[in-house]
């Protein structure tokens, strides 16, 4: 089978082979190098709005394309779960597009931020920079019952490589979380490299949905030094409060609130970058979408804790301390080399929690930088 494309990185060569009719690889992603010895490369999405700024209309189009490929969601309750941190917004977008066709839908996200709530289960993403995920039960009684009685499970991530993360989550939900009424699993990804791995290992029927499928081969350079991975966390707890509403998925969501930054009015044609932060990305995306509808030229992106080396998909990097007080290095990718009229940094912690170094770096990029948070 013909190799669609390959990239030679400092520590090896990645080759990608398509399967099926859809070969949209160049539209969907580029590659970069992880600062992570467990997996040396990273597929960087061009449509996710995490590492590359993207027009919100393009992101909404992807949510719609994925939701249109879902099978009938008539066996409810239907539990959608988006994976932290990268796919929290992707999961919410797919949920938003599909919820009107689903019986008793509810959206949850995994999180790496402990909550004062009842833990449903925890699981691991073994290849990740930060492996531990937590999933909490909704506090709302109706949404809690939908979770506990779920019959259809929709798992959303940006990509599936081996299927291990989905299997780990499914096992945790059934064994630790007690979700024994699940009858089928639907996986939703932008790109699926897992082949039949998930179907072969899952105890339940699996229906896979993605925009492109294929396989990859990694030929490591044995002479290349292993990258040094930054510490995932220096503190186990934080005294920085979460002042943001938890209505976007971490504690369950039935419908979007769309209530962040309602006072902001753009100028026609104004170039605006809306930056979400960490897992707080869905309500900021809805803000970006509203500003674009009012005539602004809007791009959306987000801060991340994922350590990536410069080069290939990564043209510029801003590094700073996280706003949660955890002592974790955070990054903004592919913004420092651009120009905007205004940047809206959206956070779920107090404005005082933002690292001044980040604000200074953003002020070099835009005439106006504003921190947006719930009062």
- Percent above pLDDT 70 for the chain: 92
Query: Do 183 and 302 sit in the same domain of this protein?
Result: no
User: pLDDT tens digit string along 209-230?
Assistant: 999 888 888 888 888 776 666 5
Question: Domain total for the chain?
Answer: 2
The whole domain housing 78 covers 7-48+58-220
Query: Do 216 and 276 sit in the same domain of this protein?
Result: no
Q: Specify if 321 maps to a domain.
A: yes
pLDDT at 128: 45
Please give the backbone phi and psi of residue 267, each rounded to the nearest 5 degrees, phi first: -85, 145
Confidence of residue 236 (pLDDT cuts 50, 70, 90): low
Please give the backbone phi and psi of residue 288, each rounded to the nearest 5 degrees, phi first: -60, -40
Query: Do 153 and 81 sit in the same domain of this protein?
Result: yes
Helix orientation angle between 56-68 and 282-293, rounded to the nearest 10 degrees: 110
User: pLDDT tens digit string along 271-317?
Assistant: 999 999 999 999 999 999 999 999 999 999 999 998 999 999 999 99
Over 70: is that where the pLDDT of 153 sits?
Answer: yes
Q: Out of 50-64, 136-150, 157-171, which region has the weakest mean confidence (pLDDT)?
A: 157-171
Q: Specify if 362 maps to a domain.
A: yes
Query: Do 23 and 144 sit in the same domain of this protein?
Result: yes
Over 60: is that where the pLDDT of 204 sits?
Answer: yes
Q: Specify if 66 maps to a domain.
A: yes
pTM for the complete prediction? 0.93
Domain end position, chosen among 204, 220, 236: 220
Q: Specify if 239 maps to a domain.
A: no
- Percent above pLDDT 90 for the chain: 71
If one counts every other C-beta atom within 10 angstroms of the C-beta of residue 160, the result is 24
Query: Do 171 and 312 sit in the same domain of this protein?
Result: no
């Amino acid at each position: 089978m013909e190799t669609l494309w390959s990239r030679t990185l400092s520590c090896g060569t990645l080759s990608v082979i398509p399967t099926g009719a859809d070969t949209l690889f160049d539209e969907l992603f580029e590659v970069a190098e992880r600062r992570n010895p467990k997996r040396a490369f990273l597929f960087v999405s061009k449509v996710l709005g995490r590492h590359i700024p993207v027009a919100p209309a393009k992101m909404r189009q992807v949510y719609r394309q994925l939701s249109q490929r879902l099978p009938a969601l008539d066996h409810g309750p239907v539990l959608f779960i988006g994976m932290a941190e990268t796919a929290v917004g992707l999961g919410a977008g797919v949920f938003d597009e599909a919820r009107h066709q689903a019986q008793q839908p509810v959206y949850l996200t995994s999180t790496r931020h402990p909550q004062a709530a009842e833990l449903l289960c925890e699981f691991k993403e073994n290849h990740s920079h930060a492996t531990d995920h937590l999933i909490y039960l909704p506090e709302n009684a109706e949404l809690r019952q939908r979770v506990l009685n779920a019959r259809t499970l929709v798992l959303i991530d940006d990509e599936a490589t081996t299927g291990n993360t989905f299997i780990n989550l499914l096992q945790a939900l059934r064994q630790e979380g007690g979700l024994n009424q699940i009858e089928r699993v639907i996986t939703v990804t932008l790109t699926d490299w897992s082949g039949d791995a998930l179907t072969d290992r899952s105890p339940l029927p699996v229906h896979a949905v993605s925009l492109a499928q294929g396989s990859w081969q990694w030929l490591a350079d044995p002479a290349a030094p292993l990258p040094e991975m930054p510490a995932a966390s220096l503190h186990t707890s934080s005294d920085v409060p979460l002042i943001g509403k938890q209505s976007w998925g971490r504690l369950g969501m039935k419908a979007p609130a769309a209530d962040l930054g309602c006072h902001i009015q753009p100028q026609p044609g104004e170039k605006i970058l809306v930056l979400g932060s960490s897992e707080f990305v869905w309500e900021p995306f809805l803000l970006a979408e509203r500003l674009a509808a009012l005539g602004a030229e809007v791009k959306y992106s987000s801060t991340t804790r994922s350590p990536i080396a410069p080069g290939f998909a990564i043209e510029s990097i801003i590094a700073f301390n996280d706003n949660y007080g955890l002592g974790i290095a955070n990054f903004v990718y592919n913004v420092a080399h651009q120009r905007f009229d205004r940047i809206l940094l959206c956070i779920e912690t107090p404005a005082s929690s933002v690292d001044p170094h980040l604000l200074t770096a953003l002020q070099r990029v835009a005439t106006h930088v504003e921190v947006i948070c719930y009062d």
